[in-house]
Each structure stands twice: as C-alpha cells, then as structure tokens.
C-alpha cells in the first residue's frame, strides 16, 4: 500500500497522542512518524494502523502497540550504529523503528512464517536488519556483545544468558511477569557480573516461549 497523505497525517496524529501519553524522546517520535506501520499490519486491520493499540498478525501473534514500542525504544537509549538484538521479530515493526534510528539490528523470531514475512516487509521498505529463525532465549553471542537487547514478549524471569550478551553499559528492556501482566524492566550491565535494575510500568505481551515453530505457509 502506498504511503498516502492520509497515512502520513494519521501518523503525525499518533505521534501527538504519544507525546500526550508521556513519550519525550524526539528520535523515537521521529522514527514513529517515519515508519509506515500500515505495511506491517494484517489487511483486515489496515484502517487501524495508526490507532494506539496492538493488533493480531499471523501465527497467533501481535504487532505491539505504538506506545509500547515507544517506551521500549526510549528505555534502550538508542544511538546511531548501536548494535541492538531484538527477541521476537513478529511483524518487524519494532525492528524497522530501530533501523530508522540508525541502529544495526539483529532480530530473532521463533515462528518461521513471521520470520519470512518480516524479512520481505523490511527489505521492501529498504530497512537493513539481520533476521534469524530460532529461540531467542539463546540470544546471538557470536554477534555480540550488544549495546541493547529488547525483548518484545513476556517472560516470567529475566533471561540470564541474554544479560551476559550485553556490553558493559549496555541496556536490556524486558517485560517480566505472568501471562496477564508484566512489569517493564530495564537491566543495565554495570560490570562483569554487576547489573542495575529499574521498573517502568505495566504492560501485556504475548508469551516468550521456548523452541521454534515451523508451520507450513
């Protein structure tokens, strides 16, 4: 679908809405204004592309709510050329926001179908990223250490292995909790085995599950 004046106008309104909800990081707001979220949506929900809500995508998953993407991306404190690992590619929208901000993105998805679709979407839009089909609990140590790790699925505990794939000073943003609600947690690696933790509000994500799913398309 073309990026029409209508879509651009709706995006600008969405950015204004995110400001009123407390998002202040201008680079994050600029990226949300730039990335055509409608390209990441299931056709059934196209008209809601700029509504501040999560929507269903393939494989029973969801595209995150723009506010949630804005909070997670703000907490990551992304700078140009930062190496960022994303767990849970899903639609690829969060990945595109990070690429728009100039990050070098590595993204892992456990559903083969989503892994395939997201690559097509990002390459059609001209956003570079490295895609992996696999279990995000393992991370990608061979490409690390990372300036940032963003987990876009709910986990009952902070994944230990991933903490050690951060650089010293690196930041991991992870929703921690049960299936009905999670606390957005920022983990900052302050030393070899030292980490700082802070919490940033309550959210609801689809669960982070072990293993992979190779469903026929």
| Chain residues that interact with ligand SAH, rule: CB under 6 A | 61-64, 87-88, 90-91, 93-94, 108-111, 114, 135-137, 152-153, 206, 208-209
Distance CA 3, CA 104 (A): 25
Radius of gyration of the chain (CA): 16
Smaller CB distance to ligand SAH: residue 66 or 170? 66
Distance CA 126, CA 3 (A): 14
Smaller CB distance to ligand SAH: residue 64 or 165? 64
- In the complex, the smallest distance separating the C-beta of residue 6 from ligand SAH, rounded to whole angstroms, is 22
Q: Which two tokens stand for residue 146?
A: 């990372």
Contacts of 124 (CB under 8 A, 6+ apart): 39
Give me the residue whose beta carbon is nearest to ligand SAH.
Answer: 90
Smaller CB distance to ligand SAH: residue 105 or 193? 105
Distance CA 104, CA 145 (A): 12
User: Is 59 an active-site residue?
Assistant: no
- In the complex, the smallest distance separating the C-beta of residue 194 from ligand SAH, rounded to whole angstroms, is 26
Closest CA to 145 of 161, 129, 127: 161
Question: Could you say which of 64, 74, 91, 198 is catalytic?
Answer: 64
- In the complex, the smallest distance separating the C-beta of residue 211 from ligand SAH, rounded to whole angstroms, is 8
- In the complex, the smallest distance separating the C-beta of residue 192 from ligand SAH, rounded to whole angstroms, is 26
Q: Which two tokens stand for residue 32?
A: 């949300």
- In the complex, the smallest distance separating the C-beta of residue 201 from ligand SAH, rounded to whole angstroms, is 17
Distance CA 11, CA 88 (A): 24
CA quadruple 73, 75, 80, 84: dihedral sign? negative
Smaller CB distance to ligand SAH: residue 5 or 139? 139
Distance CA 15, CA 135 (A): 33
Residue whose token pair is 């895609």: 131
Smaller CB distance to ligand SAH: residue 83 or 89? 89
Which residues are the active-site residues?
64
């Amino acid at each position: 679908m073309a990026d029409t004046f209508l879509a651009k106008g709706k995006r600008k309104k969405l950015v204004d809405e995110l400001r009123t909800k407390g998002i202040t990081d201008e680079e994050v707001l600029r990226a949300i204004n730039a990335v055509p979220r409608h390209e990441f949506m299931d056709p059934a929900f196209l008209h809601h592309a700029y509504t501040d809500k999560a929507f269903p995508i393939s494989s029973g998953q969801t595209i995150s709510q723009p506010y949630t993407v804005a909070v997670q991306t703000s907490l990551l404190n992304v700078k140009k050329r930062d190496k960022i690992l994303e767990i849970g590619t899903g639609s690829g929208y969060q990945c595109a926001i990070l690429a728009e901000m100039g990050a070098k993105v590595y993204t892992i998805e456990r559903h083969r179908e989503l892994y395939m679709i997201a690559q097509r979407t990002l390459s059609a839009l001209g956003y570079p990223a490295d895609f992996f089909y696999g279990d995000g609990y393992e991370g990608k140590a061979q490409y690390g250490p990372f300036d940032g790790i963003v987990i876009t699925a709910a986990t009952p505990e902070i994944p230990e292995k991933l903490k050690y794939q951060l650089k010293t000073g690196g930041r991991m943003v992870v929703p921690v909790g049960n299936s009905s609600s999670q606390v957005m947690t920022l983990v900052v690696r302050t030393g070899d085995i030292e980490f700082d933790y802070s919490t940033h509000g309550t959210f609801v994500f689809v669960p982070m599950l072990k293993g992979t799913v190779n469903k026929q398309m």
